[in-house]
Amino acid sequence: MNNMISTAEAIDRLSKTEKVGQLFMPSAFINDTEEEIQQIEKLISTYHIGGLCFFHSRASAATNFEGKKKVVKNENSFEVLKKLIIRYQKAATYPLLISIDAEWGLAMRIENTPQYPYAITLGANLKNIDLTFEVGKQIAKDCKAAGIHWNLSPVVDINTNPNNPVIGYRSFGDDKENVVSLATAYVKGTQSEGVLTSIKHFPGHGDTATDSHLGLPVIDKSKKELLENELFPFQKLIDEGVDSVMVGHLSVPALTNDKNIPSSINKDIITGILRNEMGFDGVVISDALNMHAVSKNYPIPGELEWLAFNAGNDVLCFAEHIEEGIQMILENATEAQINKSIKRIWNLKVKAIGRKDIPEKLTDPSSLN
C-alpha cells in the first residue's frame, strides 16, 4: 500500500477509472470465508475501490432480514477485524478509508467489544453533554485501535414516531434542540481523536413507521414543517462543521419534483436541498445501497450506483455491483463531476489517514464517569 498522496496529486495522478473506483465503499465482514476474503482483495486491487464498511457477517446484513442465514459467533472478532483491515490495506494501491456503524461502540457490529450507552439513554438526561462528548471520544479510540477511520454516526433523526421500527433508541430523543446539543457533543468527542463522523439519515428518518431496510418510508410533510423539524438538526450540525452526511432511503414529496425517487438517489434532495440550499460541501455518503427500499427497484446491475452518484452522493456505501457501476458512471458522468467527488473524498482521506497515534488496546467503558 502506498503512502497517502495529496488531493492535488490524486486529481492529477489517478486515471479516470481509478477515480471512479474510489467512489465505491462495499461491505466487508469479519466472519467471511477465505474465498470471500480473497474476492474482496481482488475487488480492491482490480477496481481501486476507495474504502470498506465493516459488518459482523453476511447473515447479519440488511438483506438477510428474512432470516435465511444463521448468524455465526466469533469469540476473537476484534482480532479478526484488525487482521482483516491490515490485509485489505495491503491489497490497495491507495489507502482504503475504513468505516463502520459504531453508534454505541464497535459492539454495534463487532461482538466482544466495548458497548456504550444508546443515544436514547444519553438523551434521557439533558445534563449528559460532557458524558456524550466522552462517549464519542472513547468510541473513536476503539475505532483507532482497530484501524477504522470513519464512524458512520451519530443519528440526528428526531424520534417523534413511537411506531418507528428502525430509529427508536438510536436517536437522542424527540426534542430537536436536545438532539442537536447531544449530537454536537458526540461529534466533537469523536473529532477530538481524529476519527471521522457522519450525521444521518438525511433528510430525517425519525417520523416513519416503515423500516427502510425492507420498504420505502414516506415523510408526508410540508417543506416548512421539514425545515422546522427533520432538517433542523442537519442544518445546525452542518453549520458547526461535519465531515459527512449520510442520505437515507426516504420518500419526501415536498422536497422533490418526483416523489417516486427515494432521497438517496434524488438530485432535487441531495444536490438541490442539501448542497445548494443548506450549503453542505463535504462528503455525502449513501445509506447502504443493498437495502430493499431501493435495491429491489433497480434490477439492472450498475444502474442504482450511477443514479446514486449522479444525484450527488460521493461515496456509494454497500454497493453490490462494482464492475457494472464503475462502467455506467464512466459512460455517463463528466470528468468535472468525478473530480469534484474525488476532491471531497481525498480531503477526507488525508484528514483521517495522516494520524499516527493508534493505541493498542480497546477502551474499558466502565472508565467513563
Task: Please tell me which residue in 48, 213, 249, 321 is annotated as part of the active site.
Answer: 213
318's grid cell: 454497500
State the CB neighbour count (10 A cutoff) for residue 163: 9
**β strands within the chain, DSSP E:** 24-25, 27-29, 51-55, 97-100, 150-151, 196-197, 199-202, 244-247, 283-286, 316-317
Q: Measure Cα distances from 151 to 244, 246, 352 in Å.
A: 10, 11, 11
How many residues does the structure list for the chain? 369
> To which residue does cell 466487508 refer?
28
SS3 at position 18:
helix
CA distance 190 to 188: 5
d(CA 48, CA 42): 9
Contact between residue 292 and residue 214 where contact means Cβ atoms under 8 Å apart? yes
136, HSE (Cβ side, Cα atoms, 13 Å): 31
> Among residues 101, 207, 211, 287, which one is catalytic?
287
Amino acid (1-letter code) at residue 135: V
DSSP string, 101-129: --BTBGGGTSTTS-----HHHHHTSTTTH
Q: What is the 3-state secondary structure (H, E, C) of 300-352?
A: CCCHHHHHHHHHCCCEEECCCCHHHHHHHHHHHCCHHHHHHHHHHHHHHHHHH
How would you label 222-242 residue by residue, b for 16+ Cβ within 10 Å and e otherwise?
A: eeeebbebbbbbbbbbbeeeb
Cis peptide before 154, with omega less than 30 degrees from 0?
Answer: yes
Q: Is 287 a catalytic residue?
A: yes
Buried b (16+ CB within 10 A) or exposed e, 323-361: ebbbbbbeeebeeeebbebbebbbbbbeebbeeeeeeee
Catalytic machinery residues? 213, 287
